[in-house]
Chain A
């Protein structure tokens, strides 16, 4: 990956991280297991500096918008963040409307933090991309937070919203992934790191999934074409920023350090072609799977599937965990994760290997099932063609052609094949491991099915991009201007709805083969409740540790 120079703007990400830690901890005190919910606005306004050439004076504002659920105690937060950023040279302003501060859980005082820095245009552009990537990764794990990120450079305005979209009929039968949770392992802490005052345990829990869901593409033979690894620290905060030196990622340069890919007949190489300035969420580690000779003989989907591997490192302590301690853990992991992983290499390797193995086994089974289906349909089509073309009854042949609106036997064969695929694929999607949705929705009539099919098709487009994509809505202010390229929205054709990506994360608690729980009742309202329940489980899972 092109080495990006971190700018001072990235202090915003530090603030965001700590904000989330603080917010999460305080919220948990108020209501254990409650999700962080609210909207944050991050805006950067940059104007040409009056004092330096080729420099932009940037004013970054982080503010809340509307009410924020939870126990964000601003005063306490401000005190703590200032101690974290005590070396920060930029001008920092903090404001809050304390008059409307309320202790109840229905809302928290809107707040605002502003800091000003001078940046080179290119650095600003890079920082913006990094922040976007960071926000994408956050809402995968914390889907109820919404971010408004806007950038105004010398009057040119652009905004993107990172959130989970509304549910409704646009939701698809299976536009989700089915994460397999691995077995948590305790990480041994190297002596030099242990001396940093960590009073608790670090636990690694891997989660893996294939994207898109194998059943969605049951008509194509899927191969694994890429592997994306995402690293998260306590409370689901991304561990690595693309701009940083990546000592953590160093251990992943050896593709087989944690996973023996040969067991799955995969030839994996590091993917060095990572471009932050792209439409996709940049994984922390990316591998490419090279095709083997055997694959070339088959009709393979050239794009293939992506294996997503989420590595969650959480912190657990018998003692009450303070925000600052969590911040310390976050910082420690950012700088020492590599050493910590190496110290527990065997345990980490086993846990990841088993998790990945399960997912790939599911994939293998899905491919086999698909092949079986294809073979069966081929037999069915050939048999019908044999009878139809061999019949001496002209009326029979005519009826066959007319029924499928074909003009000749060649066209008839094509339509026959297509019809079989359409009828079986739709039904096979119902057999997807997303059985929760099956239980929610009763037998639908053709009209509804057609609608769903259409949405499924659009979801296939949405899933066409690389994994980990998170959709966002973008409001474009104006065209490109000098110095800073316009931040591009995700391709609408390639973007996932954030709810889907967030739901992916939430489904880490759900076994892909069995529904997590049975639910009854139709309607999108119940889906919301279902989603909240799923995410609440995730919240508990990501809790910072036992409270007194």
Chain B
């Protein structure tokens, strides 16, 4: 199927093509994609057997008159996380653990809730049905108390069984959007074409997507929905065709991250991020690139270390003479977050990023992408991004 003829001339993408070649060369030198660690896709029978083993262990403990307990990896502890340039943040093999005891007043409820959710997962897998985390919460909202409890337990179970959440038949609600030069078929046979004028919601079942087809020269990750919509309105995907752009509307959900990872794994096209020039935007970019602490046990399935920072760079602010009146003073919280990011292990191997963050820290000012509209209303899609892409303005 041919895509609508639009977009710049082929020469526009020279630098991009070179960049892609470089990425592919790096991949070949590195022996391809790093072997998946942590979680792995598991079949339904494997998941059921794993859960039954857990139940057997519980019953055996009881038979020995011992209070059963679950041993859970400390997912969100820095001591259990290491950084690898090719993977990002991921859990170490022998990490510290904590016990969820059934005979402790503090943890007995948690112990029971883990069993409760295990039994829910068991039924879902057995019946080959799916549910979101929200659905599970609402099965007994009074018992669970709040969504966070459910989310944490599901992640703990995923880590404990060493299977991704999707193998547990638990879907995360997608909030991301995708648009551009891409089409695919969902697991249920639905054909999706992202070249529509309006964006397509990110699928809830990334694992089930097949027949991905694209000619895109690059994938642009946009931090905010407002910026994404602005680009849609400016017909950016056609002007820069062929390309794909995606937004997680802030901190990305699991499916959006999975989709970005899948697109990278499938096509190895350059991936760029367009975030605000503030610590929060940088952190969101790092989540796509290197992963999050909470999901470090699934890092191999989620991270795209090849992502490059396209904009808005703090150095762009001065370079473009963006009016100071459009800048926002950094708050104490911003400063703390920036300092925290600068201490993270992955910044060490990104000297240019470090430099940009230092510029931001020195100026004590931050800027949103929308600051570019002070130059002209369509500056972003007409000037800024095309120049960045044409001349390799990424780091």
The residues of A with any CB-CB pair to B shorter than 8 Å are 369, 372-373, 375-380, 382-384, 386-388, 390-393, 396, 399-400, 403-405, 416, 419-420, 422-424, 426-428, 431, 446
Contact = CB atoms under 8 A, between A and B. Distances in A.
B101 to A, nearest CB: 8
Contacts of A405: 63
A425 to B, nearest CB: 9
Interface centre among A377, A386, A416 (most CB of B within 10 A): A386
A431 B143 CA distance: 25
A456 to B, nearest CB: 14
A521 to B, nearest CB: 26
B63 A383 contact: no
Nearest to A412: B59
Contacts of A404: 59, 62-63
Contact of A422 (B65, B108, B123, B143): B65
Contacts of A446: 65
Interface residues of B, number: 33
Interface in B88-113: 102-105, 108-109, 111-113
Interface string B51-64: 11001101111110
B67 A427 contact: yes
A390 B58 contact: no
Contacts of A423: 61-62, 65-68, 102-103
Interface stretch (B114-122, B147-155, B322-330): B114-122
Nearest to A415: B62
22 contacts: A377-B108, A380-B116, A382-B119, A383-B118, A384-B115, A387-B118, A388-B55, A393-B48, A396-B55, A399-B56, A404-B59, A419-B63, A419-B65, A423-B67, A423-B102, A423-B103, A424-B67, A424-B103, A426-B103, A427-B103, A427-B104, A428-B103
Contacts of B51: 387
Nearest to B51: A387
B126 interface: yes
Query: Secondary structure of the B side of the interface?
Result: helix
Query: Secondary structure of the A side of the interface?
Result: helix
Contact of A396 (B52, B67, B102, B108): B52
Given A416-B62, A426-B103, 8 more contacts: A372-B108, A380-B112, A383-B118, A384-B58, A388-B55, A396-B55, A416-B59, A423-B68
The 5 closest A-B pairs by CB, nearest first: A427-B103, A383-B115, A419-B62, A379-B112, A383-B119
A491 to B, nearest CB: 31
B193 to A, nearest CB: 41
A387 B62 contact: no
Given A383-B116, A422-B65, A423-B66, A403 B105 contact: no
Contacts of B105: 369, 372-373, 428, 431
Contacts of A384: 55, 58-59, 115, 119
Contacts of B55: 384, 387-388, 396, 400
A372 B107 CA distance: 11
B56 A403 contact: yes
Contact of B59 (A373, A386, A403): A403
B63 A386 contact: no
